[in-house]
Chain A
Amino acid sequence: MTSIVVVSAGLSTPSSTRLLADRLVAATVDALEEATVTHVELRALAHELTDHLLTGFPAPALAAALEAVRRADGLIAVTPVFSASYSGLFKTFFDVLESGQLDGKPVLVAATAGTARHSLVLDHALRPLFSYLHAVVVPTGVFAATDDFAGTDLDARMRRAAGELATLAGKLSAADAATTRRSVEDELAEPTPFEELLRRASRG
């Protein structure tokens, strides 16, 4: 079964970011027909994220969230717009994610804001971030200003983005991507033999 993880960085309760995240999940599950969904709400992890920045290791709840992202077939990432970009909390989560964990992973990016003037945040902030992380960002991003929650366009856009995510996540699992970097978990499960480490050291 396809596993979807949704990371949302809304701060208030209820939050429009969480609302958008929930609707994207529903649309994605519809498109996949069956899926397991794990919701990572960053507000509850705010302390552990800061601790991780300072100590270098994740406390249990954050470790579980990072592991869920590592194992996910597809990711939905939703942030509020703060000062013309994703929120600091949102960025912190992807800062502490070990390198290589998003290699080849399909990601649907979405953002909320008070006004449509922020809509380019998807293309100016979120896409570069996930490109750097070697994720495959689906072509359709979903931006929702406050007004959009009263309109009719948002639903069609969400279905389109969810369909794209379902197509990629259903077919391509990150583990199959030929270019995936080896993680610490990979090395622990199947260590690179020392002779190979020696060859690499001298080859450069």
Chain B
Amino acid sequence: MQLGIFTVGDVTPDPTTGRTPTEHERIKNTVAIAGKAEEIGLDVFATGEHHNPPFIASAPTTTLAYIGAQTERIILSTATTLITTTDPVLIAENYAKLQHLTDGRVDLMMGRGNTGPVYPWFGKDIREGINLAVENYALLHRLWREDVVNWEGRFRTPLQGFTSTPRPLDGVAPFVWHGSIRSPEIAEQAAYYGDGFFHNHIFWPASHTQQMVALYRQRFEHYGHGPADTAIVGLGGQFFMRRNSQDAWNEFRPYFDNAPVYGHGPSLEDFTAQTPLTVGSPQQVLERTLSFRDYVGDYQRQLFLVDHAGLPLKTVLEQLDLLGEVLPDLRAGFAEGRPAHVPDAPTHDSLVAVAGQAEVLA
């Protein structure tokens, strides 16, 4: 089981002080948070990608390479990489380069992006979102697996005799997750390729996440990648914890009430009941997180959103310290009752091993 954090890279005022961090502070804070994630023993750090204010999450491979140089163990990932508006040739190059620089500590999560104007800025149309995700990924998949690619599609200029460089490290493409909240077509896409499926989970009720994951698992089996319970599933989550549960509620409430995504809407009580957001003691966060398996089955990756809603860096780092304290119990809990045939999420090493076996068999 991989445990980690993901960030969307928003620059949000702290509602309790009115102070907005500068872009520079937010960028450096992101690096500090990633370093802390490795320090407390997390497995994954993932960054979002945005090309509009109030975000500082453009140029994700620059961020990840910098973090990669300062860390030794943590897997660097994305949440998400915009497969719709980014040229798949650039994705192929940038992430293969990142693989080499970090000795394979890289995977990616594909997403579409939901901000309409970003699409035309990159010469695309949001109404083609699914088609862009489908066609662009079909090309990306080939660019990492075929040394010379001839390609003609609807969304970029044709390629004749094109080789994406550098070639993926050890000839093995980075593992790919496909993220979608509400589009069954993306679960279908993940299943078709035998890639991972990640459900954001934090913005919708559990019943919906359950349906999306069930569809992915069923179609993963349909496409011959193995039994449904061996499909590769990831979930988002979010929490705010203090040793004393009531302290957590009191401290987090102004951040929740003013948060860009759900602020001024549902009450904190309603939102914690309707979505996986957990506010309380470390023990409550532990128990709630372990209950996600009840509706998606044993899964492979759990990422938490921790640095959001204008929380200051100090608070975010304290949250990670508390997460570090419950990490052994989280790992033990996820291992408990997990059938032996349920695989871990693929890593570079495991993919290299599988490729080696395939070569021996061939």
Which residues of A are at the interface with B, using a C-beta cutoff of 8 A? Answer: 50-51, 53-57, 59-60, 63, 184, 187-188, 191-194, 197-198, 200-202, 204
Q: Are A191 and B188 in contact (CB under 8 A)?
A: yes
Q: Which residue of B lies closest to A58 (CB)?
A: B205
Give the A-B pair count, Cβ closer than 8 A: 78
The distance in angstroms between the C-alpha atoms of A202 and B156, with both chains bound, is: 11
The distance in angstroms between the C-alpha atoms of A117 and B261, with both chains bound, is: 42
Give the distance to chain A from B125, nearest Cβ to Cβ, in Å. Answer: 11
Q: Does B263 count as interface, using CB distance less than 8 angstroms?
A: yes
Q: Are B263 and A54 in contact (CB under 8 A)?
A: yes
Q: A55-B262, A191-B219, A201-B134 are in contact. Are A60 and B274 (CB under 8 A)?
A: yes
Q: Does B131 count as interface, using CB distance less than 8 angstroms?
A: yes
Which residues of B have CB within 8 Å of A198?
134-135, 138
Q: Are A54 and B262 in contact (CB under 8 A)?
A: yes
Give the distance to chain A from B88, nearest Cβ to Cβ, in Å. Answer: 13
Q: A202-B135, A204-B131 are in contact. Are A57 and B215 (CB under 8 A)?
A: no
Which residues of B are at the interface with A, using a C-beta cutoff of 8 A? Answer: 130-132, 134-135, 138, 153-154, 182-185, 187-189, 191-192, 203-205, 208, 211-212, 215, 219, 223, 261-266, 270-271, 274
Q: Are A188 and B184 in contact (CB under 8 A)?
A: yes
Contact of B208 among A50, A57, A194, A202 (CB under 8 A): A57
Which residues of A have CB within 8 Å of B271?
55
Which residues of A have CB within 8 Å of B138?
198, 201
Give the distance to chain A from B229, nearest Cβ to Cβ, in Å. Answer: 19
Q: Are A192 and B264 in contact (CB under 8 A)?
A: no
Which residues of B have CB within 8 Å of A60?
274
The distance in angstroms between the C-alpha atoms of A147 and B214, with both chains bound, is: 56
Contact of B265 among A55, A194, A197 (CB under 8 A): A55
7 contacts between A and B (CB under 8 A): A55-B203, A187-B215, A191-B185, A191-B188, A191-B219, A197-B189, A202-B154
Which residues of B have CB within 8 Å of A59?
266, 270, 274
Give the distance to chain B from A67, nearest Cβ to Cβ, in Å. Answer: 12
Which residues of B have CB within 8 Å of A56?
203-204
Q: A57-B203, A202-B135 are in contact. Are A197 and B266 (CB under 8 A)?
A: no
Q: Are A194 and B135 in contact (CB under 8 A)?
A: no
Which residues of B have CB within 8 Å of A51?
265-266, 270
